[in-house]
Structure 1
Amino acid sequence: MDTVMQRRRTYLLMECMPKLGLLMHGYNSDCFHFGSQSEGTTTPGLQSDIDFLFCNNNGNIMREWEDWQGGMFNYLLFHDETTPPQQFLLLKVRPDTPELEVCLVDDVHVRKDSGQVMLSSKRWKQEIESIVKNTDEVTNSGPSMSWVTNWDIVHAVQIRKPLPEILHWRDRCRDKHWPPVQLLEAARIAPCFLVPAGNPDSVYKSEEWRLSPNLIERMLMFSFNIRQIKCYIGLKLNETIIVC
């Protein structure tokens, strides 16, 4: 267990270094390490990648019109009966008034059939890739873009208010032996992320963003005791053997 805890502390400290570097250059961003490397649940032979999530905090993701903030990049979270589960659209909102944008301001935005302007996850990812490609070769895998060997790097947007999906999960877990009450309360206020990945069967697959509650998943993993960790690693090893 000492090795697991030391590994977790190391990766939590590693999160601070790029964030401080970005702050020194005037960028308001958050950086996170997720996955088995940072959880301390990887073993020799698994060849686990290092999962890194970068989040720019200059945007404001709104659930309701009351969440609008002047002078920021505001987007209204949109989900209806035609949107696949865990998938969302981001409708562009004007920076000077809480009204939907009607003009295409740049190439990363597209217009819906209804005339609403939304942020395209595909074009947003391509925009970042074009910047990185000036100096490095980029490898794409799902929502991640990597220009560092053995790293999966995801650029995401952050949702600071609790979503109904998370509140529903928390309510289902109440009065259970696990997770503990303190973890459920922390999960209620923990921010979630939207990563640039659409449902392949969706009409708006190039515009959709997928919900990713990575911080809550990390809290759940960090709550495991050593027996649960060993069981989890054993299941992963067994899955690897079956696949091979």
Structure 2
Amino acid sequence: MAEGDPWRDKAEHEGIPRNSGLYSRHSIVQCENASLEMCTLMNCLGYGPHIRQARRDAYRERDRLQNARRTGTTLITTGSKSEGLTGVYESDVDMMHVVEGIMCLENGVDSDKLPRETTVFTLNTGVCYHGHSRLNLLERRGDIIPSIMLDALCEDENGRFLLSSALVVDAVNSKWASIPNEIRHERAGPSLPSSFGPLHTDTVLSFRCHCPGILSRWAERSRHWPPPDIVRKVVTMGSFVTPVGFRGSEYQHLEWRICFNTGENELMGSLNNTQVYIYVLLKMVVKDVIMPVKKEITSYTVKNIVLWLAENNPQAQFNESSVFYWLREGLEKLRTAILKIELPYYMIPERNLMAACGLDEGQKCTWVNTITDMMNEGSNTLLRLPRIRKAIISHPEPLMWYNKKRVEMELLHLKLWNRLEQCKDENGGVVNRSDPMLQAILSRIVELRKEVHTRMNREGSRLNDWFEIPSMMLM
């Protein structure tokens, strides 16, 4: 079995794990049938492999088009959008802005091979909580270093220059030029949130980081998943540091968090359908049932649970007939994490993702009891999830019809965004609205809106402003 996971279970034979203490033959058959039906439903709800891939491709193309016009920073879409798991307006767009010309190096890594114009910081992890670091400036500054970086340099107790994460975020926030109709929101950790109509964006500044020691320890673990080629690819992608310290640290304003956004995107893309469905369902449980108000538990918590499950179990066991088995396993891991206030970070197991989560005893007891009830409810537990419940009620014909229209509307909007980028002039400002492809996309969006509006009226629904339909479909 895989090493490095404190939840390591006994090896199971191939196929669906069948613990005779938990399941009778009859309940196993029921579980398998319900799992197969749930896979069909998840495809209808927009979580199938084809739409996931279309979303990933669209956001990668959008990054490419925008980066072709940018200088100084590289834009990378991360989170659920890059994973292909959410619609256009369904959740925030997580955007990482990577500052060019700056590199952070793990202690002992030689900087001589880097271009002379690169400004180099070294990671000082010894004084920070696992997965966090201070950034000490080497006696080497690049040809061009942004003024906001110079203004954020501080001296430590030994007179060495280090970069304050809090000052960097404050400087970026103060110099961030808003676009017309954009609403800026209060800073959230390393993120600067904003919204433009129904589109919500979380922007995070970051630097590239070279930490071969950390990645080697991750790569050398014994595992069932991911396969060796994905492991090698994740290692080559390196890491980043983002401006947020450990919540419980006295010096969090000086600390940075080490993260592996692009590598995690690759890992999530290599999960099979069953593992993706478990991830989505567990996220729904956190959002719609547990409902944390201060991010005591997040979708990132759930992501790490699923990554550990994938690494430590044979991939053949994750099949369409085992969805409810693995959902129960995921709920059990979530319950354990809440009960013990402990969940190891998949990339750096020494970092406890539940540390300083702010979970009080009352919340803990309530959530543990709720999850226990869900584990005992079997397939009926999904009736607690509003989106699943509505889908079951409308299944099959209305749901199938609506899903077809919704998917087409989403793909059209993804194409629209990228086509607008392509139709901008060389300065990236004025859009050529006469472009034939742009006109064709807009025309089909109008036609779809009319089709949905007509059926809504026929079935007794009344919507005063039919222009709201595309936004409502893509939420």
Distance 1:217 1:32 in 2: 13
Provide TM-score, normalisation by structure 2.
Answer: 0.45
Displacement, 1:65? Answer: 6.1
Q: 1:28·1:56 contact (CA, 8 Å) conserved in 2?
A: yes
The change in CA–CA distance for 1:226 and 1:154 in structure 2 (over 3 A counts) is same
* Pair 1:94-2:139 in alignment: yes
Post-superposition CA distance 1:148-192 (Å, at most 9, x none): 441111010111x343222212211x3x32110101111121121
Q: 2:172 is matched by which residue type in structure 1?
A: I
Displacement, 1:241? Answer: 2.3
* Structure number with higher strand proportion: 1
* Pair 1:48-2:91 in alignment: yes
Counting only pairs closer than 5 Å after superposition, residues 6-155 of structure 1 correspond to structure 2 as: 6-22=54-70, 27-42=71-86, 47-63=90-106, 64=108, 66-68=110-112, 69-80=115-126, 82-95=127-140, 106-132=150-176, 137-149=184-196, 150-155=200-205
Distance 2:289 2:253 in 1: 34
Does 196-205 or 149-158 show the bigger shift? 196-205
* Structure number with higher helix proportion: 2
Distance 1:227 1:134 in 2: 41
Unpaired runs of 5+ residues, structure 2, are 1-48, 143-148, 292-475
Q: 2:279 is matched by which residue type in structure 1?
A: Y
Q: Identity across aligned pairs (percent)?
A: 21
Distance 1:38 1:3 in 2: 12
Distance 2:141 2:104 in 1: 15
The change in CA–CA distance for 1:71 and 1:86 in structure 2 (over 3 A counts) is same
Displacement, 1:204? Answer: 2.1
* Pair 1:195-2:195 in alignment: no
Displacement, 1:42? Answer: 2.7
Post-superposition CA distance 1:74-122 (Å, at most 9, x none): 2122121x3110011111122379xxxxxxx942111111111101111
Q: Which runs of 4+ in 1 moved over 4 A?
A: 133-136
Distance 1:96 1:213 in 2: 25
Q: 1:162·1:190 contact (CA, 8 Å) conserved in 2?
A: no
Distance 2:154 2:175 in 1: 20
How many pairs does the alignment contain? 228
Q: Which residue of 2 aligns with 1:166?
A: 215
The change in CA–CA distance for 1:184 and 1:126 in structure 2 (over 3 A counts) is same
Q: 2:105·2:211 contact (CA, 8 Å) conserved in 1?
A: no
Displacement, 1:62? Answer: 2.7
Provide TM-score, normalisation by structure 1.
Answer: 0.84
Distance 1:181 1:96 in 2: 37
Distance 1:177 1:74 in 2: 37
Does 226-235 or 108-117 show the bigger shift? 226-235
The change in CA–CA distance for 1:41 and 1:71 in structure 2 (over 3 A counts) is closer
Task: Give the RMSD, CA atoms, in angstroms.
Answer: 2.4
Distance 2:217 2:237 in 1: 14
Unpaired runs of 5+ residues, structure 1, are 98-104
The change in CA–CA distance for 1:43 and 1:232 in structure 2 (over 3 A counts) is farther
Q: Which residue of 1 aligns with 2:377?
A: none
Distance 2:84 2:263 in 1: 16
Distance 1:153 1:74 in 2: 23
